[in-house]
Amino acid sequence: METPPPTPDAPDVLANTEIAVRVKDFSLWYGTFQALFAVDFNVKQGIITSLIGPSGCGKSTLLRSINRINDRLGYVRTEGVIEVLGKNVLDSDVALPQLRKQVGMVFQRPNPLPLSIRENILFSYTLHTPDARKRTKAEKDQIVEEALREVLLWDTVKDRLDHSATALSLEQQQKLCIARLLPVKPRVLLMDEPCSALDPEATAAVEELIWQLRGEYTILMVTHNMAQARRASDECAFMLMGKLVEHADTAEMFVTPRHKETADYIEGRYG
């Protein structure tokens, strides 16, 4: 697949130097097993940052620490700071529903809820809108249409909004999983290998979609696929065995990696 054509506002996006997610000296233990070692990592606002590294190096763990979805595991312990939009999300006064409203997550395996397409889109909206019940149908229709248009799914599904979401193709499911985050206007989107369950064509389509969301949302995308990181991200970070080894402009990293480990990985010398 070719690199998508740069959007008109691309220069602005890259000129932005504000930090959306700031990970400072962050370590994490699963029980006695340390999975992350003093990670320092800044994710810039409005661009796509990809996170690469061999399987088991802690990419998902880092991602899942940002929206604290790992919290439910009773045996996880952390040290350090993760700031999202300037607030340390590990503080005890952080309300998880609010955090997760601002920080949406897309999973490896598309996981639409066993509801209709419409209900999937309205799910988080209903959770986060105090008087959601009282909103008119027209208002909700509007929300559904907007979200589906934004993920380029509207024309395909507009006639079957009340059909089950789990009957869609994997590509459509994954797009729906992105769409259902949008009605509550998140600032950051975390994506954990969003294309790894898809065939090459679907991967291209979803990648293109992600590229379109760039600018409006800060996107942090874990990927196993180096070609994908290279063509679909602005910056790239490389992790190895729980440590963040290198973080640079994607183009720069793939041409002139600063660390030997990065070079080795990029050239395919790890699994």
Partner 1 sequence: MFKATELNLRNEQREKRWRLLFLLMALLLILPVLIILILLVYRGGPVISWSFLFEFPRNGMTEGGIFPALLGTIFLVVVALVFSVPLGVAAAVYLSEYAPDNWLTRTINLAIINLAGVPSIVHALFGVGAFVLFFEFGTSILAASLTLGIMTLPVVIVATRESLQAVPHAFREACWALGATRWQTIRRIVLPNAVSGILTGIILEVSRTAGETAPIMFTGAAFFVPFLPESVYDQTMALSLHLYTISTQVTGVPEDLPFGVALVLIGIVLSMNALSIAFRVYLRNKKKW
Residues within the interface to ligand ADP (CB under 6 A): 30, 33, 35, 53, 55-61, 73
For residues 136-175, which are near partner 1 according to CB under 8 A? 164-167
Q: How far is the CB of 159 from ligand ADP (least distance, A)?
A: 38
Nearer to partner 1, 47 or 69 (CB): 69
Handedness of CA 188, 92, 51, 193 (dihedral sign): negative
Q: How far is the CB of 24 from ligand ADP (least distance, A)?
A: 19
Q: Which stretch binds partner 1 (CB under 8 A): 14-22, 43-51, 69-77, 234-242?
A: 69-77
Q: How far is the CB of 88 from partner 1 (least distance, A)?
A: 19
Q: Which does 115 bind (CB under 5 to 8 A by kind): Mg ion, ligand ADP, partner 1, none?
A: partner 1
3-state secondary structure of 12: helix
Give yes or no for residue 112 binding partner 1 (CB under 8 A): yes
Angle at 194 between CA 59 and CA 209, to 5 degrees: 130
Nearer to ligand ADP, 120 or 233 (CB): 233
Quick count: other Cβ atoms within 10 Å of Cβ 142?
A: 12
Asked whether the beta carbons of 262 and 269 are under 8 A apart, the reply is: no
Question: Per DSSP, which regions of the chain are E strands?
Answer: 19-30, 33-44, 48-52, 76-84, 87-88, 103-106, 188-192, 218-222, 235-240, 243-249
- CA 68/CA 186 separation, integer angstroms: 15
Residues that bind Mg ion (CB under 5 A): 60
